[in-house]
Amino acid sequence: MTVVREVPRRCVVWFGQPESHEQAELIRAGWNLRIADVAEPGGVGMRRGDTVVALADLRQGGADRLHALELMMADHAWLPWLTLLSAELPTQDPQVARVLLASVDFFTAPLDLQRLLDKLTLIGSNHLPVGHADIGGMTGRSAAIQAVVASIRKYAPVDLPVLITGETGAGKEVAARALHELSARRHRPFAAINCGALAPNLVQSELFGHERGSFTGANARRIGHFESAAGGTVFLDEVGDLPLDAQTNLLRFLQEGTLERVGSSQSISVDVRVLAATHVNLEQAVEQGRFREDLYYRLNVLRLHMPALREREDDVVLLAQHFLDSFREHHNSCARGFSHAARQALRSFAWPGNVRELLNRVQRAAVVAEDVMITAADLDLEDAAQLHAMRLSLGLSRISAERDAVVACLRESRFNISECARRLKVSRVTVYRLCKKHQLELEQLR
């Protein structure tokens, strides 16, 4: 007997006119497409269990279409609506603002098709907004983050230490958690310890525990982080800050799998995987005698580098939208997305504080925004928006290209700022801003 089961369909009802490549892209991604006319509203035509998402296309047609759509949205308020805006439509206009507020999310022309497909998939699978490469809370689709994710998948099941490098805020701890979550240890503890934050005289006792009376103030036995995390993972953040005596004990633990509590000579076997992170150059610390070379080799068996955010321009807007969506789950904000100029500023900024800085700026912007679209000013990135215009006029597609171009131009102008400004067709102030942005020390370059 064959059971014919109707597969629930996924359908986008597009009020307006999609372009042919947009149609093709949606169909390729498994969505049925119905093109509907705002002027002639009819039934949407679906079966129970189907996923239907409505898309209000406001790229063409003026106030009439806006008005008809507003009525339609009110009629079909139960449908998830997405809105596609022409760049010219002012989002402050009360009618536009009402349409945007009635929609789950909106997009501006030119349409970011990948973001649209991501959003449709989310609505279709009824999930909370999550990112793309999403493993263990790691959002991103850039080539750089995909490579990181591939390494994490490879390293997670192996019980060896991993040394995670990268700038502050780049996501080292996120990566460590992902390694833990994807390992067989995921149901056991994950202990994150910031070695730089521990008082130097208490490091040993914090990590490995102590016996009662082992030092003044040790009134009771204390179990250290390694023992409490038995079966799980210990993440030693800023491992370069570990004092030398603690380094010796850590090395011993890595070699033998045993530790001794302070004030005891009894060895205890503990099963813990060690992950370590550093934002300083450990090789240099080894050369300077601040870090044991043998410990360095033990920790550095597998290495994972978290790229700086400016090296993943493709992730910035995606992450910003992700942080905004998460913020809105718990707080009120009229903001739904980012204006065109804000997106450009986001991509153009050098992000010295990496993902952490992006998170902070987006949260602040979500609070201060007075419009459905977060502006470059809300993000405090007006400079970046101006610099972006310069980048475009110079035909520099990436930030690294911008830095190279500025250095080259400074050299050609013999470090005469006025001459460099003339050549770049920007103001002197902008040249100084560019130097600051790319951490270029004129004195050192000269």
Ligand X SMILES: Nc1ncnc2c1ncn2[C@@H]1O[C@H](COP(=O)(O)OP(=O)(O)O)[C@@H](O)[C@H]1O
- The partner in contact with residue 334, picked from Mg ion, ligand X, none with C-beta cut-offs of 5 to 8 angstroms by kind, is none
Residue for token pair 């040249």: 431
Considering only 25, 134, 173, 357, the residue that binds Mg ion (CB under 5 A) is: 173
Could you give the CA distance from residue 246 to residue 400 in angstroms, rounded to a whole number?
40
Using the rule CB under 6 A, is 149 a contact of ligand X?
A: no
Give the per-residue contact string, 32-51, with ligand X (x = CB under 6 A; - = no): --------------------
Give the containing element (helix H, strand E) for 245. Answer: helix 244-256
Q: What's the Cα-to-Cα distance from 64 to each of 69, 71, 258, 361, rounded to whole Å?
A: 9, 11, 75, 37
- The partner in contact with residue 356, picked from Mg ion, ligand X, none with C-beta cut-offs of 5 to 8 angstroms by kind, is ligand X
Using the rule CB under 6 A, is 171 a contact of ligand X?
A: yes
Using the rule CB under 6 A, is 18 a contact of ligand X?
A: no
Could you give the CA distance from residue 166 to residue 8 in angstroms, rounded to a whole number?
45
Could you give the CA distance from residue 330 to residue 79 in angstroms, rounded to a whole number?
23
- The partner in contact with residue 139, picked from Mg ion, ligand X, none with C-beta cut-offs of 5 to 8 angstroms by kind, is ligand X
Using the rule CB under 6 A, is 337 a contact of ligand X?
A: no
Strand 162-165 and strand 302-305: the pairing is: parallel
* 369, 335 Cβ separation under 8 angstroms: yes
Short-list 109, 106, 101, CA closest to 60? 109
Give whichever of 269 and 281 is closer to Mg ion, judged by the CB atom.
281
Considering only 12, 38, 72, 170, the residue that binds ligand X (CB under 6 A) is: 170
- The partner in contact with residue 65, picked from ligand X, Mg ion, none with C-beta cut-offs of 5 to 8 angstroms by kind, is none
Considering only the stretches 70-78, 131-139, 262-270, 332-340, report the one whose residues sit in contact with ligand X under the rule CB under 6 A: 131-139
Shortest distance, CB of residue 424 to ligand X, whole angstroms?
A: 33
Using the rule CB under 6 A, is 173 a contact of ligand X?
A: yes
Please return the burial class of 44, using the count of CB atoms within 10 Å of its CB with bins 0-12, 13-18 and 19+.
middle
Short-list 120, 149, 434, CA closest to 315? 149
- The partner in contact with residue 205, picked from Mg ion, ligand X, none with C-beta cut-offs of 5 to 8 angstroms by kind, is none
Give whichever of 194 and 248 is closer to Mg ion, judged by the CB atom.
194
Using the rule CB under 6 A, is 138 a contact of ligand X?
A: yes
Residue for token pair 């979550």: 181
Shortest distance, CB of residue 347 to ligand X, whole angstroms?
A: 16
Q: What's the Cα-to-Cα distance from 433 to each of 207, 312, 344, 382, 426, rounded to whole Å?
A: 45, 22, 17, 12, 11
- Give helix then strand counts, H and E, for the chain: 19, 14
Considering only 32, 121, 151, 168, the residue that binds ligand X (CB under 6 A) is: 168
Shortest distance, CB of residue 177 to ligand X, whole angstroms?
A: 8
Q: Which residues contact 392 (CB under 8 A, 6 or more apart)?
A: none
Please give the residue whose beta carbon sits closest to ligand X in the complex: 171
Give the per-residue contact string, 347-366, with ligand X (x = CB under 6 A; - = no): --------xx--x-------
Q: How many chain residues interact with ligand X (CB under 6 A)?
A: 17
Binding site for Mg ion (CB under 5 A): 173
Residues found near ligand X in the complex (CB under 6 A): 137-140, 166, 168-174, 306, 319, 355-356, 359
